[in-house]
Amino acid sequence: MLRIPLPPHLVEQAKEYADGTRQPAEPRDAATVVLLRGSPPDSTAGPAIYLLRRQSSMAFAGGMCVFPGGGVDRRDFDAGVAWAGPPPADWAARLGVDEAEARALVCAAVRETFEESGVLLAGASPDEVVADTTGEDWEADRVALESRELAMSDFCSRRGLVLRSDLLGVWAGWQTPVFEPRRYRTWFFVASLPEGQRTRDVSSESSSVTWMPALDAVQAVDDGELMMMPPTYLTCLEVGQHTDPAAVLAAASGRSIDMFTPEVTGEADSATLSMPDRLRPLVEERLGR
């Protein structure tokens, strides 16, 4: 995965976008959540992360391992969603967007996590979190949310829930390169698996799911056992530098988003994609092993 040369046709396409011959697609806003839990006591590969392998038939990132997440829906902007934790204004400052967009991104992060893993970052009060979402009634609501038959605001109102924005941490922002036909501007969040809840293989977009220590996932990609897009791989590598979920969330507490768009660097057979400067030392260290 580290610094894999780009195919020549992508290098040529990138040049055409750079000189204005082609116009890039407008990116769609999205949110994704790195769900965390502790690894086995004898592991030195960082906290465990939850990964979904996307259906190979999917038009975007088919067959790739990803975190739960997806596009922002217009109903995520609904101010009627009951809210606990830092207010949208605080999130706006950290996410680099206005308050309405910040609310929508946090709502999308919570909604998509529930839709794709069965994990719900919400509770009956600002100090509580739902303990179990495996019942048939919860599953019916999850399916209704996924199909857009149910709005998040109605879901929370009916169940007397408040969205727990304080359970999320800010991690990174990645925008799809200009040469991709489907583009996303994705805000990456982190969150610990709430006590009592468990993930379930419920997403209609995934063929399998797994929990795996972060650096074990990185090694599996290096060994050709898993496939990931660069932002997912690099997030696993960075998260894996921390000992447990609490350490990851502590690191996230001081972060704000500077959206990064990978660009083609180098020429011909040596061309590859750029990465944020903060990740370069980790990559160099891994390349030197």
pLDDT of residue 179: 86
Query: In the chain, which residues have pLDDT < 70?
Result: 1-5, 55-62, 203-207, 268-269, 289
Q: Report pLDDT for 288.
A: 78
* Domains of the chain: residue spans and CATH: 8-287 (3.90.79.10)
Whole-model pTM: value is 0.92
86-111 burial code (b ≥16 CB/10 A, e <16): eebeebbebbebeeebbbbbbbbbbb
**So what's the pLDDT on residue 205?**
62
Q: What pLDDT score was predicted for residue 15?
A: 79
The pLDDT value given to residue 270: 72
Q: What is the pLDDT of residue 21?
A: 83
CB 141, CB 228: distance < 8 Å: no
- Please tell me the predicted confidence (pLDDT) of residue 41: 84
Residue-wise pLDDT for 101-114, tens only, equals: 999 999 999 999 99
Q: Which residues lie below 8 Å from residue 181, measured CB to CB, with a gap of 6+?
A: 25
